[in-house]
Amino acid sequence: MIKKRIQGFITTLPAVENVPKVRIDGWTIAYQTELGGLNLKTSLDLLNPRNVSNDLLLNRRAKTQLSLDASYQMGAWTLGSNLQSLSKRYDDSKNTVELAAYTTADMYVNYQVNKDWAVKAKVNNLMDKAYETALGYNQAGRSYYLSLNYSPK
């Protein structure tokens, strides 16, 4: 169980604000395992991030966040995906401007050419979900990436 009591908490955007006392209570549950080349990771955060003086939620803090990651290794190839889901949150400290809940999914394939070089193809926001992490800041739709990575060993 997480129990944090913070004095002098400074928020960031949309406006910098000093919140005299903050209380964040909750749970984080995580699990990771490997099953014959299949790597699985999951994490669930259940939080109650509050401004103690008015009992309102802290801005841009989701009460629930779920993350799922899976990858499969086949020789030089790695196939993977991840899913992230956040509950609704508020963009402002008065809890009047709601940011909708959202879920995004990404997929990638990685080919390890040799010990130093790898090629990676990735699709972000596979479902082309329209969402905002902050009011007025729409996130990218479906995006494609191809990269060549050099990492000398």
Name the pTM for this structure. Answer: 0.81
pLDDT value at residue 20: 74
Q: Please say whether the beta carbons of 43 and 28 come within 8 A.
A: yes
Query: Which residues, other chains included, contact 139 with Cβ-Cβ below 8 Å and sequence gap of 6+?
Result: 125, 130, 131, 132, 133
Which residue carries 């809940």 as its tokens? 101
pLDDT value at residue 53: 85
Local confidence pLDDT in tens for the 153 residues of the chain: 666 666 666 665 556 666 778 888 999 999 999 998 899 999 999 999 888 889 999 888 899 999 999 999 999 999 999 999 999 999 988 899 999 999 999 999 999 999 999 999 999 999 999 999 888 888 999 999 999 999 998
